[in-house]
Structure 1
Amino acid sequence: MNNKPKYNLFKNTKYALSGLFHVLKTENSFKLELLFAIFIIISIIVIDVSFTNKLILLVTGVLVLIVELLNSAIENVVDLVTKEYAPLAKTAKDIGSTAVMFCISLHIICWIMVILYA
């Protein structure tokens, strides 16, 4: 069964924006991380470090948002499959949260390294 529509740049962009608006309406974690991202981007612009260091901070900051989006997708799929408590469903959600935690930790470590060694 193939329910995948034919590729269309405009329709695919519409789907992506639809997903973004859904996440902005429903996911508090993403909204909070997006708010932090605004301040982080301003800080990256202001901080006096090399372009490479700024790029590392920007990439790891955006990576946090990307991983949070993937975590939200995992949580939605798990909720679609079962509303009842299931150990594997909990594990899937916990692993997604761990990925976000690791990504945030990586971003913080990059900030520390840039500040201490730049």
Structure 2
Amino acid sequence: MALNDKKQTDKNHTFFQSFRHALEGLRTTLADEKNFKRHLVIATFVLLLGFLFGVSKLDWLWLIVVIFLVLIAELWNTAVEYLIDLLVAKHYDPLAKKVKDVSAAIVLVAAFLAAIVGVIIFMPYILNFLNL
């Protein structure tokens, strides 16, 4: 949808139009979704820990991959929630609940993966820091 034309129904015609819409999606998610903000705060903390401990390039790669995986999962979950709300007009529907629950589970699984990778990467640094 064009930023100046809220009634766009055809495809984007330029890369920049598509890019603006993607940025609008990020802005909307940041404005509306507390969990996305929480994930960003946790990601910032993880990145600060990475700098503090001087993790290896390979560790950085894994950290960045799982951080973005969680953010992508949260964006996906948000899109699914909006779509389901649109389709059921915010009336309760048991199948809609299942779809939303599965979508939320995607985020949960991504977050578990990120936590496991974080423990694997940071545990040796933390134990070394604590002289254990």
What TM-score do you get using the length of structure 2 for normalisation? 0.81
Instruction: Return the match for 2:35 from 19, 26, 29.
Output: 29
Distance 1:19 1:104 in 2: 21
Structure with greater contact order relative to length (CA < 8 Å, sep ≥ 6): 1
Aligned partners of 1:44 and 1:58 also within 8 Å: no
Question: Does residue 87 of structure 1 match 2:94?
Answer: yes
Provide the residue aligned with 2:69 in structure 1.
Answer: 63
Larger mean Cα displacement after TM superposition, 40-49 or 15-24: 40-49
Amino acid at match of 1:74: V
Question: Does residue 8 of structure 1 match 2:14?
Answer: yes
Distance 1:117 1:4 in 2: 53
User: Higher Cα Rg: structure 1 or 2?
Assistant: 2
Question: Aligned Cα RMSD in Å?
Answer: 1.6
6 and 30 in structure 1: CA distance in 2 versus 1, 3 angstrom threshold? closer
Question: Does residue 104 of structure 1 match 2:102?
Answer: no
Q: Residue deviations 1:59-110, cap 9 Å, x none? A: 1011111100000000000000011111110001100111101000000100
What is the DSSP-based 3-state SS (H/G/I as helix, E as strand, rest coil) of the residue aligned with 1:49? coil
Provide the residue aligned with 2:122 in structure 1.
Answer: 115
The answer for unaligned runs of 5 or more in structure 2 is 1-8, 126-132
What is the DSSP-based 3-state SS (H/G/I as helix, E as strand, rest coil) of the residue aligned with 1:11? helix
Shift of residue 114, structure 1, vs aligned partner: 1.6
What is the DSSP-based 3-state SS (H/G/I as helix, E as strand, rest coil) of the residue aligned with 2:79? helix
4+ residue runs over 3 A deviation: none
90 and 114 in structure 1: CA distance in 2 versus 1, 3 angstrom threshold? same
Aligned partners of 1:67 and 1:99 also within 8 Å: yes
